[in-house]
Structure 1
Amino acid sequence: MKHRIGIVGCGGIANQKHFPALKNAADRVELVAFCDLIRERAENAAKEFGAPDAKIYVDYHELLKDESIEIVYVLTPNVAHCPISVAAFEAGKHVLCEKPMAASVEDAEKMMEAWKKSGKMFTIGYQNRFRADSQTMKRMCDDGEMGEIYYAQAHALRRRGVPTWGVFTDKSQQGGGPLIDIGTHSLDLTLWLMDNYEPASVTGVTFDKLGKTLQPKDQGNFLGTWDPDTYEVEDAAFGFVTMKDGSLITLDATWILNSTEERCASSYLCGTKAGAELTGVGGSNNQKLYLNKVMGGKQVKIDVDTSAGGVDFFDGDSAEPKDLECKTWLDAIEGKGELVVKPEQAFVVTKILDAIYKSAETGKQIVF
């Protein structure tokens, strides 16, 4: 029996990640309902990815009335994550919600409460955990090869990378800019690798020097020009996160910064036995894992090649992160494995991001 899935939000992340992954899992799932405020987008998605009798909605409440739908994907702008997810739990559905969990910690708390009452499965779309380099680094951390990790850097640094589609620069829809959009991935990776989800205090700073002032001829944005008159979010955000055990995480998240380098979905870890860096820049061919340790009395930097095969003609599990994310989610629902991205973990990510914004706004340290 295939899982019957309803989709709420048929925009970029649905088409770029979730629809292709679900199509590759066609032997396990059936997409039976599509909802979007722009009806044409839902119709197009249904034609390409849906079951023959897939239904179209513009109101997610109507989709949730279908008792045959078992799983709901919430793939909307950030501020809509909370009301849709809460309603889905109340309707008795499993929920996969795109990152971040919510636009505010208050909304995230409502989602956690609804999930716990529902008894259903819940995960957040942090697909960078499923990269080959991330998986390798996680195993090394869990095996103690890094020792105690007491300092980390979470990087989501773009020199010019403003998304020029959708509502990314609309604060009322997204809740923020690069921090909540891409900083969330780097922070999630870093917390997960450290296996540390107990922040003690947060200090944050945001800047809006360029997004609201740079004219098209001066932007140099590889994703096309943006309108400075409708740019409502930060250019860059920086966080200083002290954990209860005394360890420290620094976080940078930028769409626009006059920097000489770029690091996206990147994490740099320093432990008592070794150090490591997940570069995370660009596609899978550009993602690198480097180790720093002492060997033969010398400090060395090791380039870890995670693509090396184990035997002739076999390269191991070569699935894309989006496919592994989908498989892990379905396996967990079927009782065949554990979730990799747990709600409690994603909640802490939102808690820290929210604190960085509040600290930047008030000029004060946020203490938990």
Structure 2
Amino acid sequence: MEKLRVGIIGVGGIAVSRHIPSFLALGNDVEVTAVCDVNAERAETVAQDYQIPFHTNEYTEIFDHVDAVTICTPNKFHADIAIAALQAGKHVLCEKPMAMSTEECEAMIQAADAAGKILMIAYHYRHTKEARAAKRFIDGGEIGRPLVSRAQAIRRRKVPGWGVFTNKDLQGGGSLIDFGCHFLDLALHLMDFPEIAEVSGATYNELSRQNDIVNQWGTFDPATFEVDDHATAYIKFKDGATLLFETSWAANLADDQETVSVSGTKGGLDVYPLKLYQAKYGMLLDQEAYWISDDENPGIPQAINFVESCRGNQQPLVKPQEALIVSKVIEAIYESSETGQAVRFS
């Protein structure tokens, strides 16, 4: 079988730290044949560093050189580029979040359906070994019916001081749309995306607007900080289950916290680190995972899933209809924070 030709649009940090190395690690299955960036010098440098034959600063020029593209641009450009690529007959792996609005997400899905091409969103935490095992536990009935999930994506004073992460026009938001979306997606995935009844949320940015900023990840101007650095939400589902969610770039807490837990009718689990909790045979049982592989890089199983989906051998683990739901919840959290009212889902 011929190699799948992949192009990368936007060659910033996530492209060179995850996507390009992951595709290159697949060897004979895939070839990175083109890169694009609005910064022409950056595109040329990355092409030289990875011996990629074609580079450009116009993303439409990449389509003649590839079978599929990975979009790693600021969020504002996800939808336009994805739709153009799909209409050109290319498969698309798009970085999270899917787009800036649910309307853009829906337009992307329509374009994928019309083209008959794969559209997959890079919520890579689903591809971690812990998340894959946790999903098998739940699907296997180990915890019964999920009742309450808790998701925390919290960093202590780690606002990204590089790129455009704090630019609301280009990104659409801050810690919620950039970091928390991963754990929101994972929690919903583990619960099998139950129908949502109501979302209540609040967002904050007071810490990052103070003059005496202490930040571990670079510098930024607090006077122009316009996105959220902390967000909380309470999500109720139509089946009675609930999800407690919190994310932050700048929490005044002792340690970073990246956790998802699910409590069910027969047991419960933590994902990071993976532990299973049950009560049976007259005792409490706590079980920890003992890993026999060194599978630590979720970018590789994500790349494999995308490539094999393009070839028709697999289905995308992250379906665009699910990523659309995540974006709807994110919008609802922002709306609830602005209005002070819960957002009802029909």
State the TM-score, normalizing by the size of structure 1: 0.89
Tell me, yes or no, if structure 1 residue 193 matches structure 2 residue 190.
Answer: yes
Give the match's secondary structure for 1:164: coil
**One-letter amino acid of the structure 1 residue matched with residue 283 of structure 2:** K
**One-letter amino acid of the structure 1 residue matched with residue 235 of structure 2:** V
Q: Which of 90, 93, 117 is the aligned partner of 1:96?
A: 93
Residue in 2 that maps onto 1:282? none
**One-letter amino acid of the structure 2 residue matched with residue 297 of structure 1:** G
Residue in 2 that maps onto 1:118? 115
**One-letter amino acid of the structure 2 residue matched with residue 141 of structure 1:** I
How do 1:1-368 residues align onto structure 2 when only pairs under 5 Å count?
1-51=2-52, 54-64=53-63, 66=64, 68-216=65-213, 219=214, 221-264=215-258, 266-279=259-272, 288-302=273-287, 304-307=288-291, 309=292, 315=293, 318=295, 320-368=297-345
**One-letter amino acid of the structure 2 residue matched with residue 57 of structure 1:** T
| Cα pair 1:31 1:50 within 8 Å, conserved | no
**One-letter amino acid of the structure 1 residue matched with residue 178 of structure 2:** D
How far apart in 2 are the matches of 1:48 and 1:28?
21
| Cα pair 1:23 1:49 within 8 Å, conserved | no
Unaligned runs of 5+ in 2: none
| Cα pair 2:194 2:238 within 8 Å, conserved | no
Sequence identity percentage: 39
Residue in 2 that maps onto 1:284? none
How far apart in 1 are the matches of 2:42 and 2:109?
30
Number of residue pairs the alignment of both structures matches: 344
TM-fit CA distance, 1:197: 4.1
**One-letter amino acid of the structure 2 residue matched with residue 2 of structure 1:** K
User: Cα deviations across residues 132-160 of structure 1 (Å, max 9, x unaligned)?
Assistant: 11111110000111101011011111122
Stretch of structure 1 that moved more, 4-13 or 105-114: 105-114
Give the match's secondary structure for 1:37: coil
User: Cα deviations across residues 204-240 of structure 1 (Å, max 9, x unaligned)?
Assistant: 1011111111424xx1x22233321232211201111
| Cα pair 1:30 1:50 within 8 Å, conserved | no
Unaligned runs of 5+ in 1: 280-287, 310-314
Give the match's secondary structure for 1:211: helix
| Cα pair 2:9 2:59 within 8 Å, conserved | yes
Give the match's secondary structure for 2:120: strand
| Cα pair 2:198 2:342 within 8 Å, conserved | yes
How far apart in 2 are the matches of 1:367 and 1:16?
39
| Cα pair 1:35 1:58 within 8 Å, conserved | yes
How far apart in 1 are the matches of 2:194 and 2:311?
27
TM-fit CA distance, 1:359: 1.2
**One-letter amino acid of the structure 1 residue matched with residue 271 of structure 2:** L
Give the match's secondary structure for 1:95: strand
State the TM-score, normalizing by the size of structure 2: 0.95
TM-fit CA distance, 1:102: 1.0
Give the match's secondary structure for 2:27: coil
| Cα pair 2:150 2:244 within 8 Å, conserved | yes
| Cα pair 1:291 1:301 within 8 Å, conserved | yes
